[in-house]
Amino acid sequence: MWLRRGLAVAALAAVLATIGVVVGLPLLRDRSQQRLEQRAEREVTATAQLARTRLLADPRAGESTLRQAAGSVAGVEVLTVRGDGPAVRLVFRVRVTKTAASVFGWQRADASACFAQVVHAEAGPAALERLSCPD
């Protein structure tokens, strides 16, 4: 009697554990991928801020120097540089690829965004503007 009851409880526990694994693993994988994508987005923003810092380091530099300064940051592609009198407007794209090992194998997240930065000849506050990227 006790043996039969013990086997029934063990079988029920095995079924519940199997259901938990079948339902839980995809949820954990999705959550892990979501965290990786969030890290990639944060790195896009951090890379854009680094490019901004390099651009504003020498506000009197010419267009080609500013293009080189932004382009020297890993993951930054300068799209346009336009001089408007004493100011230069740069539009650039930042691309980041993050990979991570997990229980589920390798996961990958790609993120990109475009930004515009106006560099005035006089030092002063200059906002970094996030734009929609051209195709």
pTM: 0.75
Q: Show pLDDT as tens, one digit a residue, over the chain (135 residues).
A: 677 777 777 776 666 666 665 555 554 556 788 899 999 999 999 999 999 999 999 888 889 999 999 999 999 999 999 988 889 999 999 999 999 887 778 889 999 999 999 999 887 788 999 999 987
Model pLDDT, residue 1: 67
Tell me the C-alpha distance between 47 and 96, whole Å.
9
Per-residue model confidence (pLDDT) at position 68:
94
Distance from C-alpha of 96 to C-alpha of 75, rounded to nearest angstrom: 6
Sign of CA dihedral 15, 17, 18, 24: positive
Spatial separation of the C-alpha atoms in residues 87 and 71, rounded to whole Å: 19
pLDDT for the residue numbered 100? 87
* pLDDT reported for residue 125: 80
Task: Compute the CA torsion angle 95, 40, 82, 125 (nearest 10 deg).
Answer: -160
